[in-house]
Structure 1
């Protein structure tokens, strides 16, 4: 057994602890009172507490305790006059002592622990680790929101790493935000020395001149791609983080193949916004060398003053399109119109694993490989879980570049929802005040989970900020892109649209929410988004900030809370998921592929080479039975009905729904509005209505609770006269069906969708339609959503026209054709 005696001299007494075997809880504690004798300071009274019992001991026992102790420890924080008396006493008995620094919090609890290099800063002093843990636990219990176990473990880890309890507790309610306190980790900058000089590569002079305007060397990933056969027309899967130069690899291959007479370039992307941006870039970059660019997105038939200027022809050297926009050409049997294809670039190829759209990307790749078998295929992605496996499945050379051009600091803040606007304002202001060594101000992308949040956040933060999402018109999005690129806008607030590659040179990314809609972000989405932070040509580093609200979730069915999701995302790695399609998706792809081949053998081969397994024979039999295809020996052909379904992305059930409606002589406009309602419409004055009625008013017009609230007579009378008139106009135009379940019978949505279509036929463009809705009904919508709905309506009308023609319903066919032309404009 080891025994120490600890002494802390106070004004009127000396605290005494007997420490056995270095344990935190003393063997006994006591108080010693000294008196001055002719021989010097001597023990007068010695009171001890042992096993919760207090007793008075003989003063001599204190001297005996000192004599049997291996160490006598005196607290450096002792009262100096009383300490001097203790030292004189020790000297008289020839006892040695040593000064020690101990935890004051322990002493208050009658416990003992040293203060050393591992101790933790708290309130301008150091305390022991055990006391710091207890104080942190108390702070977590007293926080505004309950902190989950994973988040609590992370907070504890931060305290033990920083050795600063003030700093750690500050994360729970960061009044004075300091990014030094919130850093989760830093993904360090990594460089690769191998850079090939552009002048040393045998490129066409026209392309070489364009490249040399920007740099004398290829970036490392580009050099690696060239070394692995890019210019020998090898297929490649290129995986590297954002801003490392992947896009230019596809361009180099495509432009070289065009200039050498191998055929045009198809450049395919997942989003319309990204297609628009690439279209503008390629037009600007390559028109000077005589190459023309066109764009194909969706049905692409809505004409406005802005879209009329865009080239859409298939005879262009470069065709930029969305996956579906290009697939329409293949599905309608018009593959020959594409002419000779030299290069196919698939950007964001990881979308092939997307649960909803993955089958369509897989299908369009398979069909393009068949119709353009001599083309070079370049697949690009920043986030692939198993790149070697994907490269093998795509029959492509893997070009994997794992280096990061600038470091990225990742920060985690736990904060209540009410603090997020203030924190985002400070973060964006601080970032915009900084100028990089390249001369660029810091700009921020804020990710949130809904379009309406994009607008409310952009309005709430006291910085010039713009919302950006797919609901905006193309011109609005382009305006934001241009202003952000010039540095005129410090902040863009967006949803998932930017994660898929739209080029904004931001130095900072803030996650206001860790969900998209009501679903938590997955690892791939998260990595895509944080990859937006930091561009080597603009910035010295990237900043990523996660604002996590403890215990927040969006539905009762969600697993985990926001702070737990934040920890998982920051600690996680991408997981590979097997690609599987349901029967409906498999049928859609088989029908689509039957539009490019009449060989059953080739059809089977195309689908065998796709990523998912197809129940090929049984589905062919089903399609034949339902008269979507005919089969004779090795020959396979789409029926007229099947051709319409394939070209219009129709499921079997939707195709039969149109057919049955046509045979029942329904009006064309009635058929298409029954197929798809326009429901993305909102009360413009939802906030004012909420205030007037003292309730939380849902913003969506056709949400059940909204209809109940505004149509209640007593509620209506509490609103301003103008709002009352607008709501009554809405009711008189759309709530007059007389159905038993009105207004929840579907009739309001149906009538409203017809209204949208009729306004378009009267010559209104989407922006003008929105203005009309706001003026007459006090409701609003996003022009981009309206454009998408009208585009889908055209495609559905085209299907109605063709199916009506098949079944000799000429009047319906003519009506659908006329409606289609009016909507196209």
Structure 2
């Protein structure tokens, strides 16, 4: 189908042509035939890099009103915001960030198109944001993530509530290749567009360290130079590194780029450092190395800059946002030939390469090495090949310890797992039942049942299994004093003041109850301190974890002794000594941060990466604001808490006006 056949205004057609889009891919044409330009609900389940985003653009541009594009990850949302902002005469807004701490560009109230994470959309629904009611088209990117245990229920409830509040809106689901697309399509009342078509050929192969066996039946011998070390080396990691060097070199010599996926951050860094010394690439990256150094004199920044000087980068969640974005931009513009990354790159950013090398097919889960999920490996393989630039893409699975047949059976031949809902878990149900009651969207068992009947869980398994849990969930919320007992006459549930704050501040009921309990326990302390409130929020499930070394443990115990009079928890009474130490480590970090130490100093002192520090600080601002509001419900004075909030807000230096107003 020619782009000129689309019933869109000339300004959009000219924009597409200027962007090199003249012919639609087959799945895109199928979406048009299915009615995407006529407000039909569509579920598009096609491989990565097969044109899903363009399909969503067609739906959004043909809409009679504002559109919403829901993204699972902030990095992906920023990427989509940048792309959509290039559309002519289209006002785009971005709303991402952790819960009530906002990173916002533009105004959702006046925008033609809003790009937001699922958590921000859920929060907007809870707070009754006016722009939600105006939406005409809703795109749910990576909709298969409703099957995620941690974030899936939030996405599922957001979609269910949007479909309930906006029955006439168009819904467009975008999914990777999954085994049960028809189930999701039925839930959305959508026409499924399912295809395995890719714009370029994907060549999949398995490498044992000596040869690559491709699915086509062809083989390729791997050889290493003396500089890289023999492949039969007793050093397993050196063997893997030497093989990676050869595989990367093969891509670069054929005018391509390479992505290497490894199991851990430390492995990504060490492999990038080693590869950067092997003179694999001639691409000059000195300017990028200098730019990375200028973003902050941190330890991780120095290591990244040194690796990039040799033409190799590394990418993981420990990098600060600015450095990740610089790295991604450099790779897209071919100023960098290779990136060593953890699997989060495949899920969160659209960054294709000629050759994708999955160097670790297993990772540690606790003390055990376990195979990567099939879906995750398919996501990584899907990054192979850049449409319009690569003649083909290659996905090489490196497995020297397992037979090629075993790997092929697991990752090439087996069906992907079905996407299933995790909404019926007790914690997820408590959170979303409370939100429905607090917002007034559902205040009786009948109306709650009506809402949950529109979820994917109900569509997949029937609402009876979920509703059978509802009485115990309601009883638990009453026991936690999140909702009041209904009167016998109308059986309407009402959120307590604490429950309403928990819902609107985006706290789980358990966290809100724990904070209230800790605030009451503070009355037993002789005095309170910054440490008291930092420890309080550090114990919540929402606070990111940090790794502890043996040396850290001794230091934390000294810290605990120093502040024992203002610490809430008792070392002898904690259920997990290790967890208690980790919570106090966060407390230490926050105390130093509030006193003015920057990320460079904190990284050096506590061996916590800047990216992790960013998440800790953002979570801290959110939790302290929520704690401050919860404290007001107890009718007791916590002057130290007020000072703590003020101090942290000043240190956070948030750029959004009015962000910290109640």
- Report the TM range for the smaller structure's normalisation: 0.7 to 0.9
User: Does the Cα contact within 8 Å between 1:414 and 1:549 map onto a contact in 2?
Assistant: yes
User: Does the Cα contact within 8 Å between 1:515 and 1:521 map onto a contact in 2?
Assistant: yes
Q: Please tell me whether residue 479 in structure 1 is matched to residue 326 in structure 2.
A: yes
Name the counterpart of 2:13.
208
Q: How do residues 579-618 of structure 1 correspond to structure 2 at under 5 angstroms? A: 579-580=421-422, 581-594=424-437, 595=439, 597-600=441-444, 601-612=446-457, 613=463, 614=466, 615-618=469-472
Q: Please tell me whether residue 370 in structure 1 is matched to residue 370 in structure 2.
A: no
1:747: how far off? Answer: 6.2
Per-residue CA deviation, residues 139-170 of structure 1 (Å, 9 max, x unaligned), is xxxxxxxxxxxxxxxxxxxxxxxxxxxxxxxx
| SS in structure 1 at match of 2:384 | coil
CA distance in 1, matches of 2:595, 2:99: 21
1:496: how far off? Answer: 2.1
| SS in structure 1 at match of 2:356 | strand
Greater Cα shift, 734-743 or 482-491: 734-743
Judging changes above 3 Å, is the alpha-carbon distance between structure 1 residues 604 and 774 closer, same or farther for their aligned structure 2 residues? closer
Judging changes above 3 Å, is the alpha-carbon distance between structure 1 residues 628 and 731 closer, same or farther for their aligned structure 2 residues? closer
1:202: how far off? Answer: 1.6
Name the counterpart of 1:277.
79
| SS in structure 1 at match of 2:416 | coil
Judging changes above 3 Å, is the alpha-carbon distance between structure 1 residues 634 and 824 closer, same or farther for their aligned structure 2 residues? farther
Larger Rg: 1
Name the counterpart of 1:752.
585
Structure with higher strand content: 1
User: Does the Cα contact within 8 Å between 1:238 and 1:399 map onto a contact in 2?
Assistant: yes
Question: Structure 1 regions of 5+ residues with no counterpart?
Answer: 1-195, 435-440, 552-560, 682-699, 712-727
Judging changes above 3 Å, is the alpha-carbon distance between structure 1 residues 355 and 746 closer, same or farther for their aligned structure 2 residues? closer
User: Does the Cα contact within 8 Å between 2:41 and 2:189 map onto a contact in 1?
Assistant: yes
Name the counterpart of 1:628.
482
Q: Please tell me whether residue 673 in structure 1 is matched to residue 473 in structure 2.
A: no
CA RMSD of aligned residues (A): 3.0
Q: Please tell me whether residue 637 in structure 1 is matched to residue 494 in structure 2.
A: yes
Judging changes above 3 Å, is the alpha-carbon distance between structure 1 residues 425 and 673 closer, same or farther for their aligned structure 2 residues? same
Query: Per chain length, whose mean CA-contact separation is higher, i.e. which structure has more relative contact order (CA < 8 Å, sep 6+)?
Result: 2
Judging changes above 3 Å, is the alpha-carbon distance between structure 1 residues 562 and 647 closer, same or farther for their aligned structure 2 residues? farther
Judging changes above 3 Å, is the alpha-carbon distance between structure 1 residues 774 and 239 closer, same or farther for their aligned structure 2 residues? closer
| SS in structure 2 at match of 1:216 | coil
CA distance in 1, matches of 2:272, 2:141: 29
User: Does the Cα contact within 8 Å between 1:549 and 1:563 map onto a contact in 2?
Assistant: no
Judging changes above 3 Å, is the alpha-carbon distance between structure 1 residues 818 and 337 closer, same or farther for their aligned structure 2 residues? farther
Name the counterpart of 1:569.
411
Q: Please tell me whether residue 420 in structure 1 is matched to residue 240 in structure 2.
A: yes
Judging changes above 3 Å, is the alpha-carbon distance between structure 1 residues 774 and 215 closer, same or farther for their aligned structure 2 residues? closer
Judging changes above 3 Å, is the alpha-carbon distance between structure 1 residues 421 and 202 closer, same or farther for their aligned structure 2 residues? same
Name the counterpart of 1:384.
178
Judging changes above 3 Å, is the alpha-carbon distance between structure 1 residues 760 and 315 closer, same or farther for their aligned structure 2 residues? farther
Q: 2:111 aligns with which of 300, 311, 316?
A: 316
User: Does the Cα contact within 8 Å between 1:458 and 1:492 map onto a contact in 2?
Assistant: yes
Judging changes above 3 Å, is the alpha-carbon distance between structure 1 residues 494 and 745 closer, same or farther for their aligned structure 2 residues? closer
CA distance in 1, matches of 2:77, 2:45: 20
CA distance in 2, matches of 1:577, 1:210: 36
CA distance in 1, matches of 2:117, 2:542: 24
Q: Please tell me whether residue 222 in structure 1 is matched to residue 28 in structure 2.
A: yes
Judging changes above 3 Å, is the alpha-carbon distance between structure 1 residues 234 and 746 closer, same or farther for their aligned structure 2 residues? closer
Please give the TM-score of this superposition, normalised by the length of structure 1: 0.63
Judging changes above 3 Å, is the alpha-carbon distance between structure 1 residues 809 and 520 closer, same or farther for their aligned structure 2 residues? farther
CA distance in 2, matches of 1:815, 1:373: 46
Per-residue CA deviation, residues 505-527 of structure 1 (Å, 9 max, x unaligned), is 31111011113553421121111
Name the counterpart of 1:818.
646
Judging changes above 3 Å, is the alpha-carbon distance between structure 1 residues 221 and 413 closer, same or farther for their aligned structure 2 residues? same
Name the counterpart of 2:218.
none
| SS in structure 1 at match of 2:21 | coil
Q: How do residues 772-783 of structure 1 correspond to structure 2 at under 5 angstroms? A: 772-775=601-604, 777=605, 779-783=606-610
User: Does the Cα contact within 8 Å between 2:318 and 2:609 map onto a contact in 1?
Assistant: yes
Q: How do residues 379-778 of structure 1 correspond to structure 2 at under 5 angstroms? A: 379-415=173-209, 416-434=236-254, 441-461=255-275, 462=278, 463=280, 464-500=311-347, 502-518=349-365, 519-550=370-401, 564=406, 567-576=409-418, 578-580=420-422, 581-594=424-437, 595=439, 597-600=441-444, 601-612=446-457, 613=463, 614=466, 615-630=469-484, 631=486, 633=490, 635-665=492-522, 667-675=532-540, 700=547, 702-703=548-549, 705=550, 707=552, 749-762=582-595, 768-769=598-599, 771-775=600-604, 777=605
1:598: how far off? Answer: 4.3
Please give the TM-score of this superposition, normalised by the length of structure 2: 0.77
User: Does the Cα contact within 8 Å between 2:71 and 2:118 map onto a contact in 1?
Assistant: yes
User: Does the Cα contact within 8 Å between 1:794 and 1:823 map onto a contact in 2?
Assistant: no
| SS in structure 2 at match of 1:411 | strand
Judging changes above 3 Å, is the alpha-carbon distance between structure 1 residues 374 and 757 closer, same or farther for their aligned structure 2 residues? farther
Judging changes above 3 Å, is the alpha-carbon distance between structure 1 residues 350 and 323 closer, same or farther for their aligned structure 2 residues? same
Q: How many residues align?
A: 558
